[in-house]
C-alpha cells in the first residue's frame, strides 16, 4: 500500500498561480517575462517544486494584477488575513470553479467587482449621511422616506 504524502502549501500555491496565469490568458513565458523570472523557475513554482521568495511572489502578484497581500497569504496557506472582506474569497471561488470556462470566470469576476465597487460607493453615501447634523435637509437629489411609505421623488 503506497503512502500518500501530504500536499505542501507551495504545491497549492503553484496550482493557484497557474490558475491565475490561465485566467489572465498568459503563457508561462509571458508571465515569466512580466515577473522577471526564468521560464523553468516559474514552471517549477507552478508544479510546487520551489517555494518562491517574497520578492518573486510580489513580482508575480504585480504581473497577474493581484494584491501582493492576497498572493502572499495564498503562499503561506492562509485562507484570509482578516483585513479583507468577503470579496477575495468570492473571487477565489470563481477562479477555482472547474465548471466554469475562462471566459465565464472573467465575465463573472467583472460583474462581481462592479457590484462590490458600487456597494462601496453606496456605503460611503450612507456613512456621509450619518455624519450630517440631525434635522438638516437631505442632500440634493435624495428624498427622505415619509411616514406613509418609501421615499418620494
pLDDT at position 42, please? 95
pLDDT value at 146 more than 60: no
Whether the predicted pLDDT of 129 surpasses 70: no
Three cell numbers written together for 145: 422616506
Give whole-number Cα distances, 24 to 9, 34, 82, 124, 144, in Å.
22, 12, 26, 31, 45
CB 28 within 8 A of CB 63: no
Between 59 and 90, the higher pLDDT residue: 59
The pLDDT of 23-42, averaged and rounded, is: 94
Q: Is the pLDDT of residue 30 over 80?
A: yes
Mean pLDDT for the stretch of residues 141-146: 49
Q: Which residue has the higher pLDDT, 38 or 79?
A: 38
Q: Is the pLDDT of residue 88 over 70?
A: no
Q: Give the percent of the chain with pLDDT over 90.
A: 24
Residue 82 has a pLDDT of 42
Contact 63, 81 (CB under 8 A): no
Instruction: Please provide the average confidence, as pLDDT, over all residues in the chain.
Output: 74
Look at 111 and 88; give whichever has higher pLDDT: 111
Q: Say whether pLDDT at 119 is over 50.
A: yes
Most confident region among 26-30, 48-52, 78-82 by mean pLDDT: 26-30
Q: Is the pTM of this model over 0.95?
A: no
C-alpha span between 127 and 6 (Å, rounded): 47
Q: What is the mean pLDDT of residues 62-86?
A: 70
Amino acid at each position: 500500500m503506497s503512502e500518500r504524502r501530504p500536499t505542501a502549501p507551495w504545491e497549492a500555491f503553484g496550482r493557484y498561480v497557474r490558475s491565475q496565469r490561465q485566467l489572465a490568458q498568459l503563457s508561462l513565458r509571458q508571465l515569466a517575462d512580466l515577473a522577471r523570472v526564468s521560464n523553468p523557475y516559474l514552471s517549477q513554482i507552478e508544479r510546487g517544486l520551489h517555494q518562491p521568495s517574497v520578492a518573486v511572489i510580489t513580482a508575480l502578484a504585480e504581473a497577474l494584477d493581484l494584491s501582493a497581500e492576497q498572493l502572499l497569504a495564498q503562499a503561506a496557506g492562509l485562507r484570509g488575513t482578516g483585513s479583507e472582506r468577503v470579496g477575495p474569497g468570492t473571487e477565489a471561488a470563481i477562479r477555482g470553479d472547474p465548471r466554469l470556462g475562462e471566459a465565464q470566470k472573467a465575465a463573472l469576476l467583472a460583474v462581481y467587482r462592479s457590484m462590490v465597487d458600487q456597494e462601496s460607493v453606496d456605503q460611503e453615501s450612507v456613512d456621509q449621511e450619518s455624519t450630517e447634523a440631525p434635522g438638516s435637509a437631505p442632500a440634493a437629489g435624495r428624498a427622505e422616506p415619509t411616514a406613509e411609505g418609501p421615499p418620494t421623488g
